[in-house]
Amino acid sequence: MYTSWKRFLSLMLLAVTVFCSACDNSEFREQIGEFQKAMTDSRSAVEVYYQEMNQFEKDLYLLRREVDPNKGLGIVYAYKRPGPGPVVVDALYVNGPFAPASIQARLDSLKLINQYGSRLAELAGSDSPAKFSSGTAALGENIVKLGGTFSRLSGGRDTTAAEYIGPVSRLVGIVSALYLENKRDKALIDSIREATPQITKITSRLKRDFDEVLIPQRRTGLEGSISTMTGYYEAERIKPGSTRKDRKAILSEINSLTRSFELFVASSPAEMVQGMEDANQALFAYANSGRKNADFVQLVARIGEFRDRAKEVSETVKEIREIRRKLRDEN
């Protein structure tokens, strides 16, 4: 409650400040810098969810075998075609079950949006932006070839990859053009107008990834881990010779898992992706409005909300990762 009031009062004071002084280019450039900082935080948080997709599945699979010696172990190499013999249904996937190439392509999409924000901030913060040079303009092979990567993925099992191709390819061109442009204010406005629809398409697909895959996977996996450990505790506590120390160790692990679940539910990473899009739209509205004060207030508010949300989610993700690290070390 205190945090909400603090944020509300801060926004009110900011609004008064903006209305009392004309919005000049330096204020606009400052907000672009804030947008870029929030993008960096959000990227680091979102990346974790993608990077840990396969490991999360492995951890749950192995946990169930730690507590139940009757469960066998099966290994499937995701990059190999199934050979003759029985199909392993309940298996530990190596390089799967989610294709590493699909995960990396989405991470590169985030990197591209971050590159866009960084270049806008660089352009906004310099009175005489440097022209294109081979050193500063290098976007890296993963970025330049990103459209081609999604094209290849769309021909396989990654059914949503094709939807990234158009916006990613256009945004690559916009980011590249920013390195060539040396007319700062015109470049900022033109780039924002051109990039916003493409970023919207990418963020909408990222949000759908969260809604349809990442969040259900985490929620189901954490619930499964808690359920597995609860069943294990119930079986162990009635065994002859069960001690308080033994029970405490299991309960401590259950407590850590429930804490991870609480943090996960509270973090709402999909809302952070939506905040990214809201800030992107506010930037677009201000660029198109002739820089009206009312639109600048909205820009400051949306970027502030995005920045705060990105920071909160980033810190929560770090805490969850630390809990998982301790659980692995203790077991």
pLDDT in tens, 191-210: 788 888 888 888 888 888 88
Q: Rounded to whole angstroms, how far apart are CA atoms 5 and 58?
A: 42
Q: Compute the radius of gyration of the chain from its Cα atoms.
A: 24
The reported pLDDT for the residue numbered 303 is 86
Does the structure show a pLDDT above 50 at 39?
yes
Domain boundaries, the chain: 22-69+98-330
- Confidence at 124, pLDDT banded by 50, 70, 90: low
Spatial separation of the C-alpha atoms in residues 152 and 265, rounded to whole Å:
34
Q: In Å, how far are 215, 223, 269, 270 from 265, measured between CA atoms?
A: 9, 12, 9, 11
- The average pLDDT across 1-16 equals 43
On the question of pLDDT at 250 being above 50, the answer is yes
pLDDT of residue 139: 41
Q: How far apart are CA 182 and CA 59, in angstroms?
A: 50
Dihedral of CA 276/278/281/286: which sign?
Answer: negative
Query: What's the pLDDT score for residue 226?
Result: 94
Position 41 pLDDT exceeds 80: yes
> What pLDDT digit, counting tens, does each position of 126-184 carry?
544 443 333 333 444 444 456 566 666 665 666 666 677 667 767 766 665 655 454 55
- Give the SS3 label for residue 57: helix
Q: Residue 106's pLDDT is what?
A: 84
**DSSP readout, 123-173?**
HHT-SS-----TTTT---HHHHTHHHHHHHHHTTT-TTTHHHHHHHHHHHH
Mean pLDDT value of segment 258-266 = 91
Mean pLDDT over all residues of the chain?
75
**pLDDT(28) > 80:** no
pLDDT value at position 150?
Answer: 64
Q: Which residue has the higher pLDDT, 1 or 82?
A: 82
For residue 141, the tally of other CB atoms under 10 A from its CB is: 9
- Where is pLDDT greater, at 83 or 130? 83
Q: Please give the Cα distance from 168 to 229 (Å, whole number).
A: 43
In degrees and rounded to multiples of 5, residue 123 shows phi and psi of -65, -40
Does 112 score more than 50 pLDDT? yes
Instruction: Give me the mean pLDDT over the 275-295 stretch.
Output: 81
Res 135: pLDDT: 34
Mean local confidence (pLDDT), 100-110: 82
Of residues 46, 49, 11, 29, the one with CA closest to residue 305? 11
| Contact (Cβ atoms closer than 8 angstroms) between residue 49 and residue 272 | no
Asked which of 64-78, 106-120, 259-273, 314-328 is least confident by mean pLDDT, the reply is 106-120
